[in-house]
Every structure is written in C-alpha cells, then in structure tokens.
Amino acid sequence: MESKEGLQSVGTSQGFPIPDKYIEEIKETELGKVMDKIFSGKELGKGKGGISFLTKDEVSRIDLTRNAFIMALTKHINGDIWR
C-alpha cells in the first residue's frame, strides 16, 4: 500500500504448510489451480478460498487478506514511532 505522501508499506498474513508432493506442480502453475484439481467437486469453500476448505471454515481468504492489510497499516497507524 502507499499513502498520499508516498509512504509505502507491505504486510503479510499467515501461511500454511503445503505437502511436498504438490510443490513442483504449484511452481509450474499456481496454488489455486492445483487446489482446484486436488479438491475437484468440493467447491473450495464456495468463494471463501481453499484455505476455508483446509481449515473447515475456521479461516477464509477474506480473513487472510484482512490480516495482511492490517499488518501493512502498522507503519501508517503508528506514525514516526514505527518508521
């Protein structure tokens, strides 16, 4: 993210382990496509993302995105203290 003043900040969210047997295929395509293939017919949380399926609806894609956004804001929220 970038403020009007040009201050840039990046945030990340939680990660989760990926079985070794899927790593090469993910490198060649992307995680979402591999998960769609693995969980074909499961509807992957009906728009909540694969993480919703993997966590039995405890965590959604929206949760991950929200947390990453909040982490990016720490630099902006705390002014000069955290810059």
Distance CA 34, CA 47 (A): 16
Average pLDDT over the chain, rounded to an integer: 85
pLDDT attached to residue 18: 94
**pTM to 2 decimals?**
0.70
Report, as an integer, the average pLDDT of 60-68. Answer: 92
pLDDT tens digits, 6-17: 888 889 988 899
What are the residue ranges spanned by the domains of the chain?
Answer: 20-82
